[in-house]
Amino acid sequence: MLTDVFGYYATERVQTSLDDDAHLIATWMTSNNQIHQLAVLEGPQAKLHHFAFKLGDWTEVGRAADLFAMDDVPIDVGPTRHGITRGQTVYFFDPAGNRNEVFAGGYPAYPDRPMSIWTPEQLGKAIFYHARELNDRFTSVLT
């Protein structure tokens, strides 16, 4: 539906292996040249991982982190960079307990660009490029 009706195409994926018949775990998609407009991940029904808000650049992501710290907003992860999409990011929790993300950067996407594929062994680097390890809370806390 996303591809046929809305013109989305996949830019990056996480799947169980690099084989053609591998199980798909997550897909990042866009309908323009922004590296992703949405990400669809396998998981529990009716659960939300996070909302994302695009900022202009890395300086604005750093400024957001400064404001979160100044106002005692709980920061979940960051500031850091994702391997997937190459975007810079900070994840934080709003007063209702929902995880949110502010992000910037990434690279331009084009329908004919080869899709980047990540495997489970690469998830630490894919999600948290600098630390290269997953935070258990990041993969288990859903709202």
pLDDT in tens, 73-118: 999 988 999 999 899 999 999 999 899 999 999 888 999 999 899 9
Query: Where exactly are the structural domains of the chain?
Result: 2-140
Region 2-140: CATH code: 3.10.180.10
User: Model-level pTM?
Assistant: 0.82
Q: What angle do CA 39, 135, 41 make, to 5 degrees?
A: 20
pLDDT digits (tens, 9 = 90+) for 26-66: 888 889 888 888 888 887 776 778 888 889 999 999 999 99
